[in-house]
Chains A and B, each alone.
Chain A
Amino acid sequence: MSRLTEELIQIKQEGAAAVLATVIEAKGNGQVEPGAKWLIRDGRLKLGTIRDAGFLQAVLQEAETRLREEKSKLVELQVPQAEGKIEVFFEVLPSPPKLIVVGAGHIAVPLVRFAKILDFQVTVLDDRILYVNRERFPDADEVVVGDMAQTLKGIPITPSTYIVLITRGHKYDEPCLREIIHSPARYIGMIGSRRRIKACFQRFRDEEKIAEEILQRVYAPIGLDIHTETPEEIALSILAEIIKVRRGGKAQSLSGH
């Protein structure tokens, strides 16, 4: 059996997600003691033992919720057998967030730089090698040249993937959106004026029969309302929106102004 630290290091190296549950307090229970740990990965108990099936279920379920919210939390769990309560800290070990930037135009340049500062794994994608190359995007983890919608098909998309569609025109954004709209991506944002987006969504409704709740997943027009004027400011407003989605804020001034 491998050691806990080895497993934790491997999870990090693989870029995988997991939850480490630690008993903080055990009231009226003789079975576990503070400091006992369980590692949960891929919906299963990876390290440690839990004999009570009901308690195992509760731990796995809570781990699932923690991972979805990407938030560590102290949780009180009931132990039916021992009629006791256990306080368990669920430490989330999230996989690094991935950002896919589709379209390598003037907004993409500051967007990729800012996203790297914010510790995203960044892939930038365009069909024009003059725009998408190492010189223009030295910080990007991956720079991909190819038909944008086709290439998106081959990129793995998970619940920690964020996708920004900022190509040079709706002619290109639409097929890309079609490719990813049913994906598990945490965020899909698409640039464009309200009028053009309305027309695009109407086509999706009529021609593709895409349901309203699926369309409502798309953040379009993209970004937070901070009256941006420059490409850098637009990039910032897009990333601010992504952080809002990831962390769950209200995006208002904390002062109330």
Chain B
Amino acid sequence: MPGQGTCFEGSNAEEKKQETIYHQVKEFLDKGETVAVATIVSTRGSTPREVGAQMVVTAWGEILGTIGGGCGEADVKREAIEVIRTRKPRLVQVDLLDDISSDSPAVCGGIMNIFVDPWWKERDEEPSERR
């Protein structure tokens, strides 16, 4: 019998370690690209995802992650492409009350405030300096 405190390490604990969106962001920045990170910063009423939910949008409109899908996400994608072009962040309000008659599963009746923030390499090196 093994002695006190004998320990069998988890076999696949390492590969199970979850990646954050920042792994993906870094890969894009390393290639010299600018991406936008969209984060739900506040909500009112019923929304498909909670405060803190994030997605990454590339300059070509490719999306990684989700902030709830539907029309709101498409709006945010459009804004994100502008944000990437101008390198100026925007606060976007998605009003899910608007399309209550729509068939979209994302209709919840709430409002989400989404911060769409550009990331590029120089910014990543000096995150708090004025641009």
Contacts and interface: CB of A to CB of B under 8 A. Distances in A.
A93 to B, nearest CB: 8
A74 B8 contact: no
Given A50-B128, A91-B52, A9 B1 contact: no
B5 interface: yes
Interface string B1-20: 11111111111010001111
Contacts of B23: 9, 12
A37 B51 contact: no
Nearest to A6: B26
A89 B53 CA distance: 12
Contacts of B115: 22, 24, 89
A89 B91 CA distance: 12
Interface stretch (B58-66, B69-77, B93-101, B117-125): B117-125
**Listed residue (A3, A48, A92) with the most chain B CB atoms within 10 angstroms of its CB:** A3
B20 A8 contact: yes
B7 A13 contact: no
Q: Tell me the dominant secondary structure on chain A's binding face.
A: mixed
Given A5-B26, A49-B129, A151-B5, 15 more contacts: A5-B22, A5-B119, A9-B20, A22-B117, A25-B91, A34-B88, A35-B117, A35-B118, A35-B123, A48-B128, A74-B41, A74-B113, A141-B13, A143-B7, A145-B5
B131 A24 contact: no
Nearest to A147: B4
A250 B88 CA distance: 41
B45 interface: no
Interface residues of A, number: 47
A43 B127 CA distance: 19
B25 to A, nearest CB: 6
18 contacts: A5-B26, A6-B26, A9-B26, A12-B17, A24-B115, A32-B130, A34-B91, A37-B128, A74-B41, A89-B39, A89-B41, A91-B52, A119-B18, A134-B8, A134-B11, A147-B4, A150-B5, A154-B5
Given A12-B20, A142-B7, A73 B51 contact: yes
Contacts of B124: 3-5
A32 B128 contact: yes
Interface in A62-83: 71-74
A144 B127 contact: no
